[in-house]
Amino acid sequence: MSREDRPDGFVDALARGLAVLSAFDGALPGMTLSEIARRADLSPATARRSLITLVSLGYVGRSGRRFHLRPRVLSLGSTFAISSHLGAILRPELSALVARFGGGAAAGTLDGNAVICLEHQATPVSARVIGANGTYHPATGTAIGRTLLSGFTAEQLETWFDQLAGPDPRPLTYDLPVDRRAMRTRIKPIRQRGYEVNPGRGPGTLCGIAVPILDLDRQVIAALNSIDETGATSEQLVDERLAELTATAARISRQLVRVPMLTELLRPVPASIFNS
């Protein structure tokens, strides 16, 4: 968020600390102060003060010159899963999909320019390759992401594309540059058709089929996918899985709308997509 957009009372020190927590990546053994500072776009002195605090509070550990996240960071996300009742609703449904089709199954929603994984389940074989809850995935490059975008009006979609090009969502962006016209054409029919397929691109890649989860107003508030590990074609995925996936999405939707706040907190509002 640019400095001018910050509301009165905004606490820079808190934003910087969260940027430092978000700067940790998948590499072990940890990162040095200068690596963290660079990734968080902070001066080393500023990043150092955040790290001192995070180490004191038990969120970050230190081993020599390198810093790493500690298990306590998991607690920050866990309250969401509980308070939202989402885990309790999604887990049994995703497990049942995995029991039937193998591979993996996940539910996600749009968070800024990316899809955030709300919950996932997978067979022991697939569990190694499918991301954890809370991981980000490209929005335009995944079936689940394009399904979520299909819930936008034409105008909302253009606003979303505009913001995609801005400097702000940097931490979440790892989509390739988007051919806006091609993507528009691809996304438009998904809402009508009711599903989207991502064909795997060559050996070892995963393909999947995604369907929307709707609220009472038939707004897309999340999407659900089934990920294949057999190398099935797109046509086979649709034939085998679409009916079951659609029925699962309808059951999840009926459970979500019983708790109105749940649909509220999942709804991707274009106006607030980028922290506005």
Give me the amino acid identity at 8: D
Whole-number Å distance between alpha carbons of 189 and 51 = 47
| Residue in 34, 41, 100, 125 binding its own copies, rule: CB under 8 A | 125
| Residue in 88, 182, 247, 250 binding its own copies, rule: CB under 8 A | 88
Rounded alpha-carbon distances, angstroms, from residue 179 to 55, 141, 148, 176: 43, 11, 18, 9
Q: What are phi and psi of 215, to 5 degrees?
A: -90, -175
Query: What minimum distance in Å lies between the beta carbon of 142 and its own copies?
Result: 16
71: which residues sit within 8 A by CB, 6+ positions away?
none
What is the longest distance spanned by two Cα atoms in the chain? 57
| Residue in 33, 38, 91, 193 binding its own copies, rule: CB under 8 A | 91
CB nearer its own copies, residue 47 or residue 157: 47
242 lies in the binding site for its own copies (CB under 8 A) = no
Return the closest-CA partner of residue 112 out of 73, 149, 78, 82: 149
Query: What minimum distance in Å lies between the beta carbon of 14 and its own copies?
Result: 4
CB nearer its own copies, residue 88 or residue 182: 88
| Residue in 32, 76, 165, 189 binding its own copies, rule: CB under 8 A | 76
96 lies in the binding site for its own copies (CB under 8 A) = yes
8 A C-beta contact, residue 212 and residue 191: yes
CB nearer its own copies, residue 239 or residue 264: 264
Whole-number Å distance between alpha carbons of 212 and 266 = 13
| Residue in 37, 39, 40, 111 binding its own copies, rule: CB under 8 A | 111
78: which residues sit within 8 A by CB, 6+ positions away?
none
Choices 129-137, 159-167, 191-199, 208-216; region in contact with its own copies by CB under 8 A: 129-137
247 lies in the binding site for its own copies (CB under 8 A) = no
By CB under 8 A, the count of residues binding its own copies is: 88
Query: What minimum distance in Å lies between the beta carbon of 136 and its own copies?
Result: 7
Whole-number Å distance between alpha carbons of 146 and 182 = 12
**Strands (DSSP E) found in the chain:** 31-32, 60-63, 66-69, 104-111, 114-122, 136-138, 196-198, 207-214, 220-228
Query: What minimum distance in Å lies between the beta carbon of 202 and its own copies?
Result: 22
CB nearer its own copies, residue 5 or residue 162: 5
167 lies in the binding site for its own copies (CB under 8 A) = no
Looking at residues 12 to 71 of the shown chain, list those that interact with its own copies (rule: CB under 8 A): 13-18, 21-22, 24-30, 48-50, 52-54, 56-59, 61, 63, 66, 68-71
Q: What are phi and psi of 204, to 5 degrees?
A: 85, -10
Helical H segments across 71-142, by residue range = 73-83, 86-101
CB nearer its own copies, residue 133 or residue 150: 133
CB nearer its own copies, residue 24 or residue 152: 24
95 lies in the binding site for its own copies (CB under 8 A) = yes
